[in-house]
Amino acid sequence: MSLNVCLKSARLICLFLALAMTPGFAVAADAPIRFGLTAVVVTENLRFLDQWSDYLAAKMDREVELVLRKSYREVMDLLNSGAVDFAWICGFPYVQKRDPETVQLLTVPVYRGAPRYHSYIIVPHNSPYKRFSDLKGKIFAFSDPDSNSGFLYPLDLMVAREERPESYFRQTFFTFNHAETVQAVSEQFADGGAVDSYIWEYLASYRPDMTEKTRIIKKSPSFGFPPIVARSGLDQVTVELMKNTLENMSRDSAGQSLLSQLKLDGFGDYSDSLFNDIRAMANRVQIDDANFQVQLAE
């Protein structure tokens, strides 16, 4: 019996030695870097995602795999479980308290000169609604229950009016995609919706037919742009490599071309305090998801 144990131990030691003897970078090079995303801008730009992963792979000399999920929550789960190493998430999930903390801020996209964006409250272009309060009792489209611009901000507006968010609108639903929120409003399926200003502006240049059918009735104060995060515990070499690669994208033409497709200026190093406004909002608004019929993983 003890022999058996010994044999097993010996095998384990051999395995450990084999791993230890292999150079560190070689181990990392074997496993691809997994990068979690929800829809970047719109779901259909898969070709862009291929170009981007190729670019990152070339720069980092590592295989990069982009992992697409429907909701931020799913991406967060992937991060928490270590199934992805990096992720592009929203400021809201970023500021949510986790114990232990599973993510670290990597870099923040720079949009129109600053790492900031807004939330737009939009209505159909021909609708009579002029203010957010006009939408009371109507149908409202949220983007993602973990979206700052598409959920937290309108909720905060209701809380500020001392209204009960769950009964403020007649009907609410989640599109899990800012572009689809614009679609829902433009097709008058919803009387109003909350969207990411970055996505709305992006659509305004690529799909003006959609945004022309919507009208912005409220623009939020600026918030920290949805950041790129790394999972806690990821080796610092990879973290630094990814951070540098992203932040240097604006320095070469291939990177610039990709950034221009994303309508971003680049990625920059910013402190966590950029997200204090979102953090404050998240603290004000206590969300009970069950009241919003949140529909997650299909």
Partner 1 sequence: MPNLNPKSWPLAIKLSLTITAVVTAVGFMIGAVMVVQDWTRAHEVLGEKALLLSESVAITAPKAIVRKDFWSLYLGLKNLRSGSNEIISAMILDVEGRVQAHTHPAKNPMGLRFSPENELEMDLYGQAMGARKPVVFSSGGFDRAGFQEAVIPIFADQKYLGVVRVRLSVARLYEKAKTSALIVLALVLCFVIIGSALGTLVSRHMVKPLTAVTQGLEAVGRGEMTDFSPISIKGKDEIGRLSVTFNQIMVELAEKKMLEEEVAMSEKLVALGRITAGVAHEVNNPLAGLLNCIDTLRKHPNDKALFDRYLPVIDQGLHRIKEIVHNLLVGLRIEEGDEMVGIDHIDKLRDLIKAEIADRDIKVVWENQADRNLSISGKLEQIVYNLLRNAVEVLADGGVIHCRMYQKGSYLTIEVEDNGPGISAAIRNQLFDPFFTTKSNGTGLGLWVVYRLTQNLEGIIEVESEEGQGTTFHVSVPVAKAKAA
Query: In this chain, which of 170, 208, 233, 284 binds partner 1, going by CB under 8 A?
Result: 170
Residues 88-127 that bind partner 1 (CB under 8 A): 124
Query: Binding of partner 1 at residue 141 (CB under 8 A)?
Result: yes
Which range, of 62-70, 95-103, 146-154, 179-187, touches partner 1 by CB under 8 A?
A: 179-187
Residues 184-203 that bind partner 1 (CB under 8 A): 184, 187-191
Looking at beta carbons only, is 81 or 295 nearer to partner 1? 295
Query: Binding of partner 1 at residue 174 (CB under 8 A)?
Result: yes
Query: Binding of partner 1 at residue 171 (CB under 8 A)?
Result: yes
Looking at beta carbons only, is 176 or 225 nearer to partner 1? 176
Query: In this chain, which of 78, 139, 203, 242 binds partner 1, going by CB under 8 A?
Result: 139
DSSP conformation letters of the chain: -HHHHHHHHHHHHHHHHHHHHS-HHHHHHHSPEEEEES-SSSTT-HHHHHHHHHHHHHHHTS-EEEEE-SSHHHHHHHHHHTS-SEEE--HHHHHS--SS--EEEEEEEEBTTBSEE-EEEEEETT----SGGGGTTSEEEES-TT-IIIIIHHHHHHHHTT--HHHHSSEEEE-SSHHHHHHHHHTTSSSEEEEEHHHHHHHHHH-HHHHTTEEEEEEPPPEEPPPEEEETT--HHHHHHHHHHHHTGGGSHHHHHHHHHHT--EEE---GGGGHHHHHHHHH----GGGGT-----
Q: Applying CB under 8 A, which residues contact partner 1? A: 124, 139, 141, 170-171, 173-175, 180, 184, 187-191, 293, 295
